[in-house]
Chains A and B, each alone.
Chain A
């Protein structure tokens, strides 16, 4: 059992477990304990299985550490080295403290996933109860091929989580509080810092440049809160401020964005006008404030606010879509560089054409081109929900077919003429009807289907569960064939014993219960048949194996 390649992080000697002296090993992925003088571990827990650790209070005679597992079991270690017991335990505790959270996430996720599956799927839950809780098979076995299926078939939802955008108001969430002595206190969380970095790459760059060599983290954020990012009406004048450079960068970024122009020609305000009046013509309603000098400080701070709000919104928007679009961005980048020169109009028309077509379209004036559908009109919705389910796949007819056939029938009916000369004689008709009525000659077979009326619902439910459980076990059993590895061999033997156990603990009590109530009906016959088939298969396989061995 010991795998020597494992890295051992901590070894503590003289640790007792179940009143036995031994050594505790903390390794990269698990914690293990082996009794003194033996070469194997009798206790071994993966970190992922550990829910938490508990320690005995200081001052107690015994210095102990307890590990509580997710399954509810617990293991207690007693540090018995008189002189260093406390120190030993502290060391183990510290290390565990560091290690456990790393595995916890993984474990939790798995647990959560299992929990979710059980909650979402009542059948599975019932199965779980039948098989695991009643200890027919172990939990591990139960999950082995289910979780495996999840993890292998669609790992995507786990590996790349959906990208979460950034709240537009993340700066507003930092509410300054006065700290009582003429100062302000800002509360920053890791989320906010991440939002700031994602929205303003320039700040991130500054951060990595300056922290921690030039500034402490605290100083950095203090300056940030003094900068224009936080006070958008501030006009940057101080050159020694590290963020004034950011302001310039932002400005530059904004300018490049502006010069790149817009892709959608319908929103390009610059090319909206066909023929602008020459300079000097027209009535200028707004006074052209050509000179910037006569702009008051207030005016320019106002326009700074406006500019920065636009910039902020654009950056937030970009941060939300940045990662996903990296690849496509590059593609559009290449075309947009070409698109900049006005001569390459070849590139522009597609967007323009599409936008123009969109703009002139009247969807409601056009006849819809989709195939006609029949609206589903339910008078009693339970009847729809509990209606008969087709047993085998059928040739489905499209709505169009149904409409056509209805039309056809209607047409037929309209032109229907009964040919009264060729009808049945009344006596023959009566006898046919009698034969087809319930209780008639031809309706004898119908009595059998009344099983659902004969058996009370709770028994039905129980039977259903049995079927499901048996099906699950049989699925495990049959999936072992053809038995070509050692592992499968083991498994098939185990599964057979599982099946037998199932028959003993579940099926037989049920059968007896039924027999006590309904002597005549044999509800479990089919189940037994299935199990019998499995047994005989197993028998055949085993004899064949024996023969091969001998």
Chain B
């Protein structure tokens, strides 16, 4: 249908629309109009993606000069591919309606592992191996040597792309990862570099967060993207963790040992080159004197290890003299390495800030701040000069130099923690230096500064106001939309007591309590008897799950559950878990029914949907608090309190509740879907916990379902499931949670919609 969103003609590729989709588009349009940032929460399964795409594409068509590009960031590869498929649907609708094929170019970009078509390289299993092998075939000096020595292998796909691929832009169309590969095969071009090249002039780019948030990659891939772009972070409830992860470094003794060998190799190579080709080193020195700016104008394939620091800050200056010659630099690295080694020899935990660290290093080994800052750049230049083919071997020294650059660049927002051993095993020495970022806004700041509109959206972003605070930006729109429902298809229940009135909780004091564990087992057992098909149960941590499973086994609870359903359990091995997941789905599919025991914050809870019969009930055993004893977390909490005035408990609860919401939200993936959401912990009943759940879940928790016993929950569930099993037709929804165009245009419906939207 064709919609009128405040004067903008939007093509929407469906015959009907949900009211919340309309309000979502309205808010989104206002965000774009204001050229500001927005935070929008809408339950998953209400067609968030298609609403976003429809509106932004329409906006781009209407105002081609205002918004030139849409950068859509999602988390996982399947998500990325889903977005592109939805986009394809939209574009097909455009073609059908307007009768002309529009010249939109949209493509997905992923890592080499997912795009490579070179027969040898693509057969490697791990992403890092693929990257390394690719680099050894496409680095500029390899190619230069290939000219003189044709026996040297190069990648023919890259060569072909390099010689002809750049002249003709990728024809307009929608390219998913497989389409890119097919296109690459047809033309004999490298799909990866083709995609990286094409994102510069594409109208829509879909890729993973890291390409924008991780400065090491962002600098490489996304540097030249136009400022007049709209950036969308979908599934952004974890965006702060992604930011923090991309800026943090861990150094163990093993890293240092490997670094040592790297430095030795560098030294030897320099030595050799000095005898054979001293001119090369002199040339490098000359370049470095001239400044990094020129040095950095290198070919794209070389910039494999980009600077971890954000661009522009460092390139203004020249590399300081003390590390300009290759030998000096290697000596410098050696000294730095020795210093780190000495720091790791501590017997007790040390925590210090970056300035403290810099002061100490200056006093001990006379290393200045300035050369440290240039470490990463300098190493890159050296690796390039020495023509090191297999760059993956040098990951250790790269890590150290990145650490050096980071620690000397940021005086705030980071902390250094040196732990001589793991908490659980105090007798085994295993020193680790954590250089951890505590401020997610550091990584995302350039994104907010550079692009005119950044939209953060997800199904679970509650409480909304915390995201602008921890990411440090000022949104122009903030809205949370609920799911309008013709029938209440979700049933959140808070089970606080067992049948024997024992309070259920995963809190630390009662964690080992047999009564609690037994009652949890009873809950699962009873549910397995009444819920059809699939049940997913989440535990707060892997260790906790292991213990509970063992004790359920001893008490014979698992065997009783097996009478009703098959049991599958997430393990720490991803491949094993994938298999268990597939078997789980198979068991749900063939009607046998199954239970999946899984872990909140695990991969399953973040990336796998349990639509329809794959998840008729989700049980959340306990409140998934993060492991609070970790020093890194403590440091972060302290920082949040000092810097953003967020109380520790608030943040912890917020973090726990967003993960709980993520877990239970896995079961409802649309309005025709239905599922039970069982929160098995009495603490959920408290207002401070409950209030942090997304609105679309919260509004279905009534006072009657706050502190149930297992039996009561079973009764309510039975009733709910029986109701849900009745046929549900489109007509039932129409006019309430599903609108035709005429209905949407009617005056009172518009009023109703605005009413719903303004509840926030």
Binding site for B on A (CB under 8 A): 165, 167-169, 171-172, 232-233, 254, 257-259, 261-287, 291, 294, 298-299, 301-303, 305-307, 309-310, 313-314, 316-317, 320-321, 341-343, 345, 349, 352, 356-357, 359-360, 362-368
Contacts and interface: CB of A to CB of B under 8 A. Distances in A.
A301 B549 CA distance: 11
Contacts of B566: 168, 313, 316-317
A345 B627 CA distance: 41
B210 A317 contact: no
A279 B730 CA distance: 51
A386 B305 CA distance: 83
Interface string B525-562: 00000000000000000100011011001101011101
A271 B577 CA distance: 13
A169 B560 contact: yes
A331 B582 CA distance: 19
A165 B565 CA distance: 13
A209 B608 CA distance: 44
Contacts of B579: 257-258, 262, 310, 314
Given A168-B563, A267-B582, A285-B630, A365 B399 contact: no
A314 B558 CA distance: 16
A342 B118 CA distance: 10
Given A169-B559, A233-B550, 14 more contacts: A172-B556, A261-B578, A275-B208, A275-B211, A280-B252, A283-B250, A294-B428, A314-B580, A352-B81, A359-B611, A360-B50, A364-B670, A364-B738, A365-B738
A359 B422 CA distance: 42
B553 A233 contact: yes
B733 A364 contact: yes
A269 B609 CA distance: 12
Q: Which 8 A-B pairs have the closest CB atoms?
A: A172-B559, A274-B208, A169-B562, A365-B14, A282-B245, A313-B566, A168-B562, A367-B15
B680 interface: no
A269 B730 contact: no
Interface in B124-153: 127-128
A261 B583 CA distance: 12
Given A168-B563, A169-B563, A277-B246, A287 B550 contact: no
Interface in B250-283: 250-252, 255
A165 B73 CA distance: 45
B185 to A, nearest CB: 9
B583 A314 contact: yes
A contacts with B: majority SS: loop
19 contacts: A165-B592, A254-B576, A262-B581, A264-B585, A265-B78, A269-B604, A269-B607, A270-B574, A274-B111, A276-B127, A278-B399, A280-B249, A280-B395, A317-B583, A317-B590, A345-B181, A352-B178, A364-B670, A364-B733
B608 A364 contact: no
A254 B573 CA distance: 13
Interface stretch (B82-90, B687-695, B718-726): B82-90
Given A272-B77, A275-B210, A357-B85, A285 B546 contact: no
Contact of B122 (A267, A302, A303, A342): A342
A294 B425 contact: yes
Interface residues of B, number: 108
A343 B120 CA distance: 9
A280 B16 contact: no
A367 B550 CA distance: 50
B671 interface: yes
B48 to A, nearest CB: 11
Contacts of B425: 294
B671 A281 contact: no
Contact of A267 (B559, B581, B672): B581
B244 interface: yes
Given A277-B246, A321-B590, A367-B15, A305 B550 contact: yes
B111 A367 contact: no
Nearest to B21: A365
Interface in B452-494: none
Contacts of A305: 549-550, 553
Interface in B419-448: 422-425, 428, 434, 436-437
Nearest to A349: B178
Nearest to B109: A274
A95 to B, nearest CB: 43
B54 to A, nearest CB: 12
Given A262-B581, A272-B77, A275-B210, A172 B546 contact: no
B107 interface: no
Given A165-B592, A287-B424, A317-B586, A281 B248 contact: yes
Nearest to B728: A364
B376 interface: no
Contacts of B178: 345, 349, 352
Given A168-B563, A262-B582, A310-B571, A365 B47 contact: yes
A263 B250 CA distance: 36
Looking at B181, B241, B586, B604, the one whose CB has the most chain A CB atoms below 10 A away is: B586
Interface in B579-616: 579-583, 585-587, 590, 592, 594, 601, 603-604, 607-609, 611
A268 B117 CA distance: 21
Contacts of B77: 271-274
A268 B672 CA distance: 26
B80 interface: yes
A269 B567 contact: no
B14 A283 contact: no
A331 to B, nearest CB: 17
A294 B581 CA distance: 29
B623 interface: no
Contact of B15 (A262, A282, A357, A366): A366
Contacts of A310: 568-569, 571, 576, 579-580, 583
Contacts of A257: 579
Looking at A274, A294, A321, A341, the one whose CB has the most chain B CB atoms below 10 A away is: A274
Contacts of A271: 77, 114
B618 interface: no
B372 interface: no
A317 B127 contact: no
B47 A172 contact: no
Given A262-B579, A299-B546, A357-B85, A275 B217 contact: yes
A528 B327 CA distance: 123
Nearest to A167: B563
B15 A320 contact: no
A368 to B, nearest CB: 6
A258 B578 CA distance: 8
